Amino acid sequence: MTNLKGSVSRRTILRAGAMTGGAAMLGTLPATRLFAQEPEKPSEIIVRAWGGEWVEALKKGVSDPFTEMTGIAVRHDLTEDNEIQPKVWAAVAQNRIPPIHINWDTTTNATKSALRGVTEDLSDLSNLAETTDLAKPVGLEGYPIVNTYGYVYVLAYRPEAFPDGPPTSWKDLLDPKFKGRIALYNDGIGFHFPAQVAGGGSLEGIPDDMGPCWDFVEQMKAQEPLLGEDPDFTAWFQNDEIDAACTISTNALAAKRNGVPIEWTVPVEGCKFDTDGLWIPKGLPENELYWAKQYINFAITAQAQQTWLDGLGLPGVVPGLTPPEGLAGDPSYPTEPEDFEHLIRISSAVQVENESEWFSKFKEIMQG
């Protein structure tokens, strides 16, 4: 950035190279639109993202190649997903231009925004034709969100704390020796559904008969678990604060890649499976909306997914991706129908409607 002239000339060269290469990569885009009628390019587009491993993977797999192809710089806004939401909602309500072009969001949170009507419809993305069912949000009209990958809330554990082999059941965590050595998300997300099974209930009981879930959470409360968010889990494993956690496999993978001896498993009761997606807030100028859509369209190409999801260690929404090293057949990387047998998937609609109730119930027990 110190040599403005140099950077400009470098970008020009990249763009020139990208035009030909880009045509091949964005193969399904009509060539005429790309070359002749494409709207004016914004100098940059802003993508809200999660920090750490997450944004690194996105940058490498999607944003950098996108910039190379189009010449549009991508800025990553690391505002918490929960904090960007009211800002976007307020901007749309007041007819202002929203603060971001694309939100990388949990499908559950994104569904709230979709229900509120602040998302652009993405049904016309050409690459959607190539994707699996996972890309389509369940229970919503069209594509207000495009799911981009799935993930599992695994039971991550420190092998040395389980000398008799990996835990097979969530109930194994009730052993007194794990008192104060377990971590859960502070709103209990990911833990409710396996707890429902572990507490002796059935998945059909969601959302109307959640008693077994709360019984099991009560038992877990006696173990005095730590409650945190994504970055906490990696840190806690690294600092030897915990022996086991219910967390997204990516956090466990990050700790493992940082040299912490850690494994993960899907116990008999199962694990929650969920998706993340990308969406575009309403209120963008026409040309910026066009290029934001092109970004998402690119994110669901096999090429982008391969690199992006290698970084995250998660299964994508296009068939035929090569699993990252060591994750083939891993319970946190489901690809075949039988892989999904032990994974619990609840529709976003049910989650969105009941989540805050589950959340406050979980808080009530944990804050007690």
Partner 1 sequence: MTDVTGPEGKRRYPLRWHVMDALEGAAGVLWPRRMAPFTGWLLLAPALLLVAVLVLGMVQIAESSLHTLDRSTFLPSEDYTLENYRTVADSATYLKVIWRSLYGSFLTVVFTLILAFPYSYILVRTNSAFTRKALLVALFLPFFIGQVVRAYGWLIILGNAGLVNDALELIGVERQRLLFSFPTVVFGLVQYMLPFAVLLLAPALTAIPREVETAAGSLGANWARVLWHVVLPMARPGLIGATLVVSTLSLTDFAMPAMLGGGSQDFIANAIYDQFFRTADQGLGSALALLLVAIGSLLVGAIFAAFGAGTLAMGGRE
Cis peptide before 207 (omega within 30 of 0): yes
The distance of closest approach from Cβ of residue 179 to partner 1 in the complex, given in angstroms and rounded to an integer, is: 9
Please say which residue, 130 or 229, places its beta carbon nearer to partner 1. 229
The distance of closest approach from Cβ of residue 5 to partner 1 in the complex, given in angstroms and rounded to an integer, is: 39
The distance of closest approach from Cβ of residue 39 to partner 1 in the complex, given in angstroms and rounded to an integer, is: 31
Which residue from 216, 226, 246 is spatially nearest to 361, judged by alpha carbons?
Answer: 216
Please say which residue, 20 or 367, places its beta carbon nearer to partner 1. 367
Sign of the CA dihedral running 197, 201, 202, 205? negative
Please say which residue, 276 or 330, places its beta carbon nearer to partner 1. 276
Cα 310 vs. chain centroid, distance in angstroms? 14
Dist CA 14 CA 280 (whole Å):
27
The distance of closest approach from Cβ of residue 217 to partner 1 in the complex, given in angstroms and rounded to an integer, is: 12
* H or E element that contains 46: strand 44-48
Question: Encoding tokens for residue 174?
Answer: 């009730």
Dist CA 53 CA 316 (whole Å):
17
Please say which residue, 38 or 241, places its beta carbon nearer to partner 1. 241
Residues lying near partner 1 in the complex (CB under 8 A): 80, 82-83, 85-86, 89, 112-113, 115-117, 180, 186-187, 224-228, 235, 239-241, 352-353, 355-356, 359-360, 363-364, 366-368
The distance of closest approach from Cβ of residue 183 to partner 1 in the complex, given in angstroms and rounded to an integer, is: 9
Please say which residue, 10 or 116, places its beta carbon nearer to partner 1. 116
Please say which residue, 227 or 289, places its beta carbon nearer to partner 1. 227
Dist CA 50 CA 44 (whole Å):
19
The distance of closest approach from Cβ of residue 131 to partner 1 in the complex, given in angstroms and rounded to an integer, is: 26
Which residue from 321, 327, 277, 263 is spatially nearest to 125, judged by alpha carbons?
Answer: 277
Dist CA 359 CA 74 (whole Å):
34
